[in-house]
Structure 1
Amino acid sequence: MTSHNWIDLAQDADTGIETLRAHFEGHAYDPHWHDSYLVGVTEQGVQQFNCRRARHQSTPGKVFLLEPGDIHDGEAPTADGFTYRMLYLDPQWLTREISTMFDKAPDHGELGFAHTLTTDDALARATTLAFATLHHGELKIVRQTALDGLLERLTTHLHWRTRYGEDPRLPLVAQKAREYLHAHAHEDIGLDQLALATGVDRFRLTRAFKAAFGIAPHAYLVQLRLATARRLLARGEQPATVAMALGFADQSHLGRWFVRAYGLTPALYRKRCSNLPDS
């Protein structure tokens, strides 16, 4: 990060929701994904990002909505950069809370967002209020009231959909490769090994994977490990321990990838989420 970039992150102990406010100039972060639902508002500047095979530009007041697994990046196309605030909503928490507002969920159903970027002033205000109450540790009843307001407005952008076994939108070889990566994420997987598991050569595999997910298999594997690293660090695990457990060469190797994806170091992320001192 340059000296002009900054991140302010916290985690609500009751819900596990992370709140983040940040400013970036130029390149912000590499393609990555989260295990959470992301609801954010651009405060200042132009927030440009690629997601779902489209380029989006979020300007002040617009709300961006990302699902778990949505690969996205971030950059500022203008010199003054961009500032935004965001909520990371745990999927289990969101499903539990939102199910009371919807009719019965379909069998094998999961929540999805209708749009990645939207202009909805009421949702922007509800997101900003929920962020403020959580980030600054307001009284529990105040936080819960603000979250209820957010969820009530969010239902206009959420819908139940059938969870796919095989996703008809994606090539089968890409799906098989993704499943294999998830099952063997901690191993030192080679392209030959992945190609053998999917029944095609390395070149067809890489082309199919990049066409389906926007990044190469090796980059997807790194992001998969980083998503796990976030969960472990938030629980208070030490960066060095996490790096070793997830197959990174060492702590500095984890740190380089973590900063490129999330804009802050593993140690700082751990401190902000767990409130535990470094040992």
Structure 2
Amino acid sequence: MNPMQHAWLGNYELSSTTCTGLNFARHSHDECVIGVNLVGEEKVWLDRREFAAGPGSITLYNPGQIQGGGAADGAPWQFVSLYISAEQLAADLGLAQLEFDRSLCFEPDLALRLAAAVKGALGSDALAREVSEDALVVLLGDVVQASGVRLPGSAATGKNLINRAQELLAESLHLSLPLDQLGDELGLSKFHLLRTFQKETGLSPRQWAMQLRTRRARGLLLNGRAACDVAHDLGFADQSHLNRHFRAAYGVTPGRYQSVLKR
């Protein structure tokens, strides 16, 4: 197991750390820092005060806050961290500005879901990383609300909005329409776009686009198109990407599907 993993996911900087007795000198960051403690207890020094953060705790630091601390010598410690500018996080959540009201939240279920999304985002599968990014936006909204910040409501909700979103996704299926662009078209933040879309469809916009892409692939394969051409035309990363999602949806690979049709 890699004791330290680190990656960028869009505008989010992510890390996952497994260690013993790690300590940080007092320092600060230019961006917001969100930490999730999974194993062990962290002793935190923040702006001249001290507190403990055990498993299930989420720590929140505003830009410029002086922080330090860590685990006791020899003590196991596992945690994930997210770094994002206050301006970007505010924009993603539909806020004019953002400042955490609380430095510590004990939310075990939310902490586990947030950690799982971070770990998924640290993997090598491109689609899994995209799905994890969607999950992170929604979960960060939950974290911000748990910290005492109230998120704005959205007047533009409901089936008409989702119908328009689906039209835009379908029109750009081969390009994989970015969430930022889709949100701008609909006048929604990433957070409200994801929440509304999932409420109406049970899927994120990217997941919905993938099921449509896979469904259209089935029709093209049925008409005799080569799998490599189908993958290219519908915006799959490559033929193996098409194979993986086609088999997940229909239980067979595209090649097997076409061979059965020819019998």
| Structure whose CA Rg is larger | 2
TM-score, normalised with respect to structure 2: 0.50
TM-score, normalised with respect to structure 1: 0.47
Q: Quick one: higher RCO (CA 8 Å, sep 6+), 1 or 2?
A: 1
